[in-house]
Amino acid sequence: MEFVLYEVKDAVGIITINREKALNALNSQVLDELNATLDAVDLDAVRCLILTGAGEKSFVAC
């Protein structure tokens, strides 16, 4: 995946939108990657999901 990162720490899944140069703006590719990432979450192992954006300027721009 190019714009969405996913990692699991203990029972917490962290999804990061990683388009910092575009202020993490949503486009069809990002939405497709988010959808695929959410579908891949192991609900037996993950008890909490955190959705965040890369960088310090913006969570997500529309």
pLDDT given at position 3: 98
pLDDT given at position 19: 97
pLDDT given at position 62: 76
Q: Cα separation of 60 and 49, whole Å?
A: 17
pLDDT in tens, 3-53: 999 999 999 999 999 999 999 999 999 999 999 999 999 999 999 999 999
CB count in 10 Å sphere of residue 7: 9
**What is the CATH code of the structural domain delimited by 4-53?**
3.30.300.220
pLDDT given at position 17: 98
Q: Cα separation of 11 and 4, whole Å?
A: 19
pLDDT given at position 15: 98
pLDDT given at position 51: 97
